[in-house]
Structure 1
Amino acid sequence: MALYTWASDFPRGVLVCLLVGLLAGYLGGLVAYRIWWHPLAKFPGPKLAAASKLYETYYDLFDGPGGQFPAKVRALHQQYGPIVRITPEELAVDDVDFHIKLYAPQPAVRDKWAPITQILGTTEGTFSTVEHHLHRKRRVAASSFFSLANIAAAEPVLHKHIERCCALLWSQKDKPVELRVPFAALMFDSMYDMAFNDQLNSLTDLDIANQWDLTTDAISTFAPWLKSFPWSIKPFLLLPMNMVKKLSHKVARILQVSHRIRARTLRYLDETEKSEYKGSIRPAIVGRPETLFEVLQRRKLHDTEDELERLTQEGTELFAAAATPVRVLTAVMFYLLDRPETLAKLREELDAAYPDRMTIPTLKSMESLPYLINVVKEALRVAFPVGGRLPLLCREPMTFGNWIIPPGTPLSVNHRNLMLDPAVFPEPTLFKPERWFDNDLLAIEDRHYIPWGRGGRSCLGKDYAQGQMQMVLATLCRRYEFELVDTTYERDVKISREPFLAHASLDSRGVKIRITGLRG
């Protein structure tokens, strides 16, 4: 009360000036500390990046079309060298040996940097788990969903949705189709069916398919905002969906995915509660792959775990991850149609392996198709869909050259930088599947080819995604004749924005093709 009385005796203008002065003094002191006395003050990099995270926010949200911070970091490496301070508390390193030490350090411990886990708005899924040991337990629990046996069991599911995608494309014969739309529908339908034993049916109509493509864009382009302002999603969680839609279509799309998966999770838990399997593990359905629900229930981590929240968030992360193959498939179709000699070589291999053009390949049969494998491999390298960095924290000091990095420092090595290194991949942006027949390149493949990441934080679904992409590509190229329509590399394919996933320019009209007929 005395303090209030004392403060009330001051003119309001004086109080405001005093508060502003205190705030300015605090901010000035903080900036000075970060630039001159912070444990990372000795590391090279721009002073603005050392002073404030707003440096990153500017390049992510406001520079040109947005999503420019990864490109800025590459420019900083050229200016300052292989180790650069890119935010007040974070370092970026451009070195393959350091990448191996950071991302594949067994048995060393690596925690994830918390801000990067905010981009999907999840905290209980494997992707968003910060602490090393908890992440390892969650990863082991989810790993059998993507086991080779479960992927093989999912083959009829994949075939069903690929056939539906073909029917959708054929219904548009002689009309331009933007490929990302049906590919997004295919990937989301397949994953939803396999993971939740339920149907989205977005392949029934191009308009529905387009909604899922827009959702993919929303998840990716909103990620930098959530990374800079993670608290900003929380008010939306308290609002009804019709109000969220009025305030932000992007946020609404992201929340609708989570709400749909939560509803499916509730239905599954309710069905289990009412069934004979109440209180026990519900067995998988014969003739189908195990769903994500069945896998995670069998590997429940502890009795106090919130089952609804855990299943919902794992499902949301898994569903969102289905967006990445969409971009690779779209890009590889452009490259094949833009390079007729490469498409001809692929078709020669496919024609010999599958005399019937209507055949959808099996996963096993594609293991003996080296050119198909290398086409997808090269597409993953050139069109690597994840532009954002994935920082980890080491609990012990790390070294890089003569530098000693303090423990707890967020560290990252950009994957795209390594896969576009001209010293390893001559003409690195050139799509050239033949390069993978070079034994010298294969000898160093494990070091430089990392589209799925490395170590304990690498992509769990790599075998599933790679097999599905090969299957889709083989089916389309064996079955149909098609041509590019109103598509250019510079405008529609070249990566110019990296909010999290890699995007073409804002002027892009998408990769469009026209199916002209069936092949012989």
Structure 2
Amino acid sequence: MKWHVDCIALHTVYLSPLANIPGPKLAALTYLYEAYYEVWLGGQYFKRVAEMHRQYGPIIRVTPNEVHWNDPEFLDTVYPTTGRKTDKPVWFAKRTGTPYSIVSTPNHDLHRRRRNALNSFFSIASIRRLNVVMKQYVNKMLARMEATAKHASDPVLQFHHMFKACASDVITIYAFGECFGFMELPDFGWPFFESTDKFFFLTHLFFLIPGLVNLAQNAPSWLVRALLPGLAELRDRQEWWLRKVREIRSSPNPERVKSTIFEGILNSTLPPEEKTDVRLASEAQLVIFAGEGTTAYSLTCALYHLLANPPELAKLKEELAASGLDPNEVPSIADVEALPFLSAVIQEAVRLHPGVMARQVRISPEVPIVYADKKTGREYVIPPGTVTSMSPLDTHMNEDAFEDAYEFKPQRWIENPKLARYFHGFARGSRNCVGMTLARREMAIILAAIFLKYDVYRGQEGPTLELYETERGRDIDANSDYIIPAPAKGSHGLRVRIRH
């Protein structure tokens, strides 16, 4: 038995087709190397991977069957738009917890069919139908800010709580036609979001112990509450989503389905097994997780950087003033689409703080991937079926692509539009983020509405915002990777004092 194990180890490290890829021998030998950093140390493998690139170069082997690059010029090869099929590994669905959604679909062709059924829901024309809803909820947000300033004994607000509540209500209305009303709750519904975060904190365990995700997703509610009480609020949301799917499907009103995410799926040519309640609920869960979490995170980071960099905020306020927008009105989607510096602010915030931290894994099922290391001149051939990946944060912190990469410089996107070829904030290729058009416009409306009304506090009168006990390294930068970024332990997130 020991001889057999030794032979497998020998082959994995020294004789496999990936044996010539640089990297630590332990990472090539066993998935437990990754598990040590992700499970034991808590979402820290992204830092180790960055160290490995500094030590070994732009191509490394991070697991027995995964090759990772830190080369912005190679993005379009790893993530092609056309010309090559792109699969995902089967285990990815177990890690995400949304096994039947487009983001977890392993097969290239099935992914294309599922995505085509959703594309119209996220078109610009469809998103513009959200104008009224967005304005309604941004007005609620501004009212909560004003109430905090006027009535709180210490008018400090945890903005990531409010942003997540606002984004969640908007995307849930868009998907289902109704929502939980988190913006109406004194705590912005934070227990629900804490439960979702705890689910993400389990993602590395889901990969290490595959049966755990089935327990979290499919076990009876009473068992989840007994064994995983931190997920109880999330289970309530999941049951609500499933119940609403059934209500929408069985509604006698034909207009009911047309106002939801399910119109494209139910009216598509997808076979019946693709239209089950469970699959539709899984798709909705993905859209809501992405629409509330990543959008709120990017908004939080953008607001922090604008308040921490008053000269950049002054440029934004100058653009807003020149636009002729009414400071007492929430702008429309069409209004914010015409503001280039605001778009650059959002692009730069997402570059510095991508809302999805996980290595974006792909598989080329039919053809090899060939990589030439420019510095060494060495060529590597990655055989079909190998898991390949790049990480948004690695790409965005690469000084070869972004000068002064750690600094917040929105102007870089205006001065050099070609930098867009290195942008990895909403994934790339045929599996890029289906909701990025909605996310960009929602963030733009919220930031424009805030800074049409507020300025950074410099001792003056009037509506102002001031950072309160917020540090970038502790409260804003990613300190752990649980698919979503997490701040340092003990962080209270972005806190801002509001004055009127």
Distance 1:197 1:253 in 2: 21
Say which is worse superposed, 54-63 or 492-501, in terms of deviation.
492-501
Q: Tell me which residue corresponds to 1:378.
A: 348
Q: Tell me which residue corresponds to 1:297.
A: 266
Q: Tell me which residue corresponds to 2:314.
A: 344
8 Å contact from structure 1 (residues 185, 212) kept in 2: no
One-letter amino acid matched to 1:408: G
Q: Tell me which residue corresponds to 1:232.
A: 212
Q: Deviations over 1:442-476 (max 9, x none)?
A: 1x223212211211100111110000000001111
One-letter amino acid matched to 2:34: E
**Equivalent pairs, count:** 479
Q: Deviations over 1:10-65 (max 9, x none)?
A: xxxxxxxxxxxx4x5554443233123322222221111111101111111112xx
8 Å contact from structure 1 (residues 152, 363) kept in 2: yes
The verdict on how the C-alpha distance between 1:49 and 1:153 changes in structure 2, with shifts beyond 3 A counting, is same
3-state DSSP class of the match of 1:346? helix
Distance 1:513 1:426 in 2: 30
User: How far does residue 170 in structure 1 lie from its aligned partner after superposition?
Assistant: 2.1
8 Å contact from structure 1 (residues 168, 204) kept in 2: no
From the CA coordinates, give the structure whose radius of gyration is larger. 1
One-letter amino acid matched to 2:243: A
Say which is worse superposed, 53-62 or 256-265, in terms of deviation.
256-265
User: How far does residue 301 in structure 1 lie from its aligned partner after superposition?
Assistant: 0.4
- 1:211-222 → structure 2 map (5 Å cutoff): 211-222=191-202
Q: Deviations over 1:57-104 (max 9, x none)?
A: 1111112xx111111111111111111111111111222332211201
8 Å contact from structure 2 (residues 176, 259) kept in 1: no
The verdict on how the C-alpha distance between 1:160 and 1:215 changes in structure 2, with shifts beyond 3 A counting, is farther
One-letter amino acid matched to 2:409: K
Say which is worse superposed, 391-400 or 468-477, in terms of deviation.
391-400
Asked if 1:79 is matched to 2:50, the reply is no
Unpaired stretches in structure 2, ≥5 consecutive residues = 373-378, 455-463
Asked if 1:435 is matched to 2:429, the reply is no
- 1:115-126 → structure 2 map (5 Å cutoff): 115-126=91-102
Q: Tell me which residue corresponds to 2:430.
A: 456
8 Å contact from structure 2 (residues 307, 313) kept in 1: yes
Asked if 1:40 is matched to 2:23, the reply is no
User: How far does residue 495 in structure 1 lie from its aligned partner after superposition?
Assistant: 2.0
The verdict on how the C-alpha distance between 1:236 and 1:328 changes in structure 2, with shifts beyond 3 A counting, is closer
Asked if 1:483 is matched to 2:471, the reply is no
User: How far does residue 409 in structure 1 lie from its aligned partner after superposition?
Assistant: 0.2
8 Å contact from structure 2 (residues 248, 256) kept in 1: no
- TM-score normalised by the chain length of structure 1: 0.88
- 1:234-383 → structure 2 map (5 Å cutoff): 234-237=214-217, 239-271=219-251, 275=252, 282-283=254-255, 290-322=259-291, 323-354=293-324, 356-383=326-353
User: How far does residue 216 in structure 1 lie from its aligned partner after superposition?
Assistant: 4.1
One-letter amino acid matched to 1:446: A
Q: Tell me which residue corresponds to 2:498.
A: 515
User: How far does residue 218 in structure 1 lie from its aligned partner after superposition?
Assistant: 2.3
8 Å contact from structure 2 (residues 191, 233) kept in 1: no
User: How far does residue 153 in structure 1 lie from its aligned partner after superposition?
Assistant: 0.8
The verdict on how the C-alpha distance between 1:58 and 1:349 changes in structure 2, with shifts beyond 3 A counting, is same
The verdict on how the C-alpha distance between 1:424 and 1:97 changes in structure 2, with shifts beyond 3 A counting, is closer
3-state DSSP class of the match of 2:103? coil
- TM-score normalised by the chain length of structure 2: 0.91
One-letter amino acid matched to 1:235: L
One-letter amino acid matched to 2:444: Q
The verdict on how the C-alpha distance between 1:455 and 1:239 changes in structure 2, with shifts beyond 3 A counting, is closer
User: How far does residue 238 in structure 1 lie from its aligned partner after superposition?
Assistant: 5.4
3-state DSSP class of the match of 2:363? strand
Asked if 1:399 is matched to 2:370, the reply is yes
Distance 1:494 1:208 in 2: 23
Equivalent of 2:186, from 195, 201, 206? Answer: 206
3-state DSSP class of the match of 1:84? strand
- 1:457-472 → structure 2 map (5 Å cutoff): 457-472=431-446
The verdict on how the C-alpha distance between 1:406 and 1:58 changes in structure 2, with shifts beyond 3 A counting, is same
User: How far does residue 253 in structure 1 lie from its aligned partner after superposition?
Assistant: 4.3
Distance 1:105 1:190 in 2: 30
Q: Sequence identity, in percent?
A: 28
3-state DSSP class of the match of 1:177? strand
Unpaired stretches in structure 1, ≥5 consecutive residues = 1-21, 277-281
8 Å contact from structure 2 (residues 265, 275) kept in 1: no
Q: Tell me which residue corresponds to 1:495.
A: 478
Distance 2:69 2:219 in 1: 41
The verdict on how the C-alpha distance between 1:238 and 1:425 changes in structure 2, with shifts beyond 3 A counting, is closer
Distance 1:238 1:144 in 2: 30
Say which is worse superposed, 344-353 or 199-208, in terms of deviation.
344-353
3-state DSSP class of the match of 2:465? strand
Distance 2:74 2:411 in 1: 29
8 Å contact from structure 2 (residues 161, 188) kept in 1: no
One-letter amino acid matched to 2:389: S
Q: Deviations over 1:201-260 (max 9, x none)?
A: 010123243124313422432222223322212234554324423422444344333222
